[in-house]
A and B are shown apart, each in its own frame.
Chain A
Amino acid sequence: MKVNCSVNVPRLSRVEGHGAIRIKIKDGRVEHASWEVVETPRFFEAILSGKRWENAPVIAGRICGICSISHTLASIRAVENAFSMTPTEQTRNLRLLLKHMETLQSHVLHLYFLAAPDFLGAGSVFPLIESAPEVVARAARLKLLANDLCDCVGGRRLHPTRTVVGGFTMLPDRKELSLFSKRLVAATADLMQTAELFTTFGIPDFARETEFVSLKGDGAYPFLGGSLISSDGVEKQEHEYAGMTNEFTVSRSTSKWARLSRESYAVGALARLNNNFGCLHPSAGEIASLFRLRPVCHNPYMNNIAQLVECVHVANESARIIDTLLDTRWDEPKQEVTPRAGRGVAAVEAPRGILYHCYEFDETGHIVKADCVIPTGQNHANIQLDLEYLAARYASEGMTDRDISLLAQMLVRSYDPCISCSVH
């Protein structure tokens, strides 16, 4: 049995934001295993205070560069819920399509650019441009499709321009939208090849039982609003989110942490899939079986595979949404907005997990109080406990420090953390 281990990763790479991993085992005892978040806070909740409702999506969308569409849509939904507005079916479809393409873009970025290099023994995707050009070209094709469709619906792939409270500033060009049906069908082949590539990767055999929290699918795999569910059997309504997250501050982190029935819980693709497996598109279900992924899976490294399964789901669903949109006559892009005093909560499944925005308004539509609970913030405690467990287990198995370090980095990367977002 290996009795000592020392791992120090001061700046974890290939993740969004700044985090550090430190593990110290002495004489067989874990002295220290920590996931430290050192990112600078930007104080978004304070920044939003006193601002009128129309500022909220513009400002809050800037919490994150990778999931700006999720933040923008969560912000809009929170405002609309506070003002008792119900979006039209057309708006709901367009928002879901935009949401799906963010999921595809973000998952492909993570799977190919951030996670895959570990499995291919590279430090980044850049050397693969020469050693495996077809892999990089495929990743670029999938990302481009998702980003182009985001441009078409949201006006811009990053910090969307057309998404506003009440709907959209303008609607996509019908002809342009129709061309995406073909590209989405063509993407199926690319996603199958992605799955084939991932079957060649050795996903570490590691599991630690935990609780999974996500939106609860009501017939459909959930993305925008609805009730909240945990794999330990807790169910709450969207407006009761604070009882689901129970945020608290910890000294080693500028991000708050969260817990529910246990010391920690996990959110993200694996949590969504564990809680809503039956709602997946049949083609996505097939990919899950290819990897023997079924609920409840407690291996955090399998979040990569859950993301892959979701890519197939959203590609298929997006083609269906486009068909529905093209089959209908389009209404006005946007509804009138009448501000009123009240509190509005939005729960949205961002690529990295469930995201909440909550705003309280006065009667003139100014924000009195804002609260944003970020997916990665909810994952920090779970990452911490995973790391402790991983360090103890692999050290006792006699693994070298170098290998433990790599597995620890891959573990954190599997969560696809969005660290600056979690601190916000």
Chain B
Amino acid sequence: MPNSGKTYLGVPVSRPRAAFFDFSSCEGCQLQILNNEATLLDFLSLVQVVNFREAMTEESDEYDIAFVEGSITRPDEVERLKAIRSRAKVLVALGSCACFGGVNQLKNRFRDLLWVNKTVYGDAAVETDFVRRLADVVAVDLMIYGCPVRKEEVEKVVTNVVIGKEISYPKYPVCMECKAGENICLFDLGEACLGPVTRAGCGAWCPGNRAGCWGCRGPADDANIEQMKRLMRERGIPEETILDRLECFGGFREVSETFRLEMTKGKP
């Protein structure tokens, strides 16, 4: 890794070359990096940004860390992602689209891409495939969860990569962080919430704003889905709402696909 004379607390730091890439997505997770007004400059002293099309014209094929946002929906994206993988020492999936397919994977529930295509483009169909997450195509080293990602978490992951510290994710669910934040429980307000089963690390971002969790970070370790369903049913939350939440971002795909089949008897 090149050392360009930058120091941290007086100690010279290796600044890895970081590259940002986007596939099918809203590019919001990359924007979160630029939304780091208070710490953006510190962040930029930690890494050397060599590719960031949304923000810069210069580009390079030489990089250490590739941050990849978005899901994979077309053959040319598969080729581009493989090329990025072959060049990057570390490949980081940035956000729910990259980690799980994100809201984009909701189109997979129709199982009929011709219908999907016709609905939007009429007879002028365009090339598209079922939505895949990055890990379905290449090996992914690290995940940064969330829709959107939290900028603090991006910084933490980058710092850990730079100093060679192992990356660990919370094993407990959002509910823990929500309780610690002394928020009103969304269940007490009659709202649906996936807080009991979703991986923590967001600081209970949505429940803290009195909006139920939609599970954008995927399941916590040992998430007890059946118990969560029972809790929601006891509170009169409709089955359809539970399904809407579970399938929204793709993190609970295995559970939600079965649940949808049971509920709709195969109808989309």
Contacts and interface: CB of A to CB of B under 8 A. Distances in A.
B154 to A, nearest CB: 13
Interface stretch (A157-165, A262-270, A318-326, A386-394): A157-165
Interface residues of A, number: 57
A41 interface: yes
Interface string B20-49: 001111111111101101101100100001
A42 B24 contact: yes
A144 B54 contact: no
Interface string B119-156: 11110101010000000000000000001100000000
A143 B37 contact: yes
A65 B96 CA distance: 13
A40 B54 contact: no
A353 interface: no
B110 interface: yes
Contact of A45 (B29, B35, B119, B126): B119
A218 B219 CA distance: 49
B233 interface: no
B205 interface: yes
A158 B148 contact: yes
B106 A47 contact: yes
Contacts of A120: none
Contacts of B110: 46
Contacts of A62: 26, 28, 102-103, 147
Q: Is the interface of A mostly helix, strand, loop or mixed?
A: loop
A228 B238 CA distance: 39
Interface stretch (A122-130, A280-288, A289-297, A307-315): A122-130
Given A55-B244, A65-B30, A420-B25, A16 B120 contact: no
A45 B106 CA distance: 11
A23 interface: no
A109 B56 contact: no
Given A63-B26, A170-B209, A51 B148 contact: no
Contacts of A155: 206, 209, 211
B214 A58 contact: yes
A2 interface: no
Given A58-B214, A140-B37, A144-B38, A14 B56 contact: yes
A43 B209 contact: no
Contacts of A52: 240-241, 244
Nearest to B146: A159
Given A52-B244, A58-B248, A162-B211, A14 B57 contact: yes
B125 to A, nearest CB: 10
A136 B122 CA distance: 46
Contacts of B240: 52
Contacts of B126: 41, 254
Contact of A421 (B24, B26, B104): B26
A340 interface: no
Interface string A8-22: 000101111100000
A5 interface: no
Given A45-B120, A124-B52, A124-B55, A129 B211 contact: no
Contacts, number: 160
A65 B29 contact: yes
A81 interface: no
B198 interface: no
B235 interface: no
A123 B58 contact: yes
B243 to A, nearest CB: 10
A64 interface: yes
Interface string A239-277: 000000000010100100000000000000000000000
Interface in A144-193: 144, 147, 155-159, 161-162, 164, 169-170
Contact of B31 (A43, A63, A158): A158
Contacts of B147: 62, 159
Given A126-B49, A129-B41, A140-B40, A159 B148 contact: yes
A278 interface: no
Interface string A109-126: 100011001000001111
Contacts of A117: 57
A126 B56 contact: yes
A121 to B, nearest CB: 11
Nearest to A155: B209
Contact of A59 (B31, B34, B55, B248): B248
A287 to B, nearest CB: 23
Contact of A169 (B41, B49, B211, B214): B211
Contact of B44 (A17, A46, A47, A126): A126
Contacts of B35: 143, 147, 157-158
B171 interface: no
A171 B257 CA distance: 36
B55 A41 contact: no
B116 A43 contact: yes
A66 interface: yes
Contacts of A15: 54
Given A58-B248, A68-B26, A155-B211, A124 B57 contact: yes
A59 B25 contact: no
B29 A161 contact: no
- Which interface residue of B40, B57, B206 has the most chain A CB atoms within 10 A? B57
Contacts of A126: 44, 49, 55-56
A49 interface: yes
B107 interface: yes
A58 B192 CA distance: 14
Given A13-B53, A123-B58, A43 B26 contact: no
11 contacts: A16-B54, A49-B119, A58-B248, A126-B49, A140-B37, A147-B35, A159-B147, A164-B211, A169-B210, A170-B210, A249-B124
**Interface pairs A-B: 9 shortest CB-CB:** A65-B28, A124-B56, A155-B209, A65-B26, A123-B57, A144-B37, A249-B124, A169-B210, A161-B209
Interface of B: 22-32, 34-35, 37-38, 40-41, 44, 49, 52-59, 73-74, 77, 102-104, 106-107, 110, 115-117, 119-122, 124, 126, 128, 147-148, 205-206, 209-211, 214, 240-241, 244, 248, 268
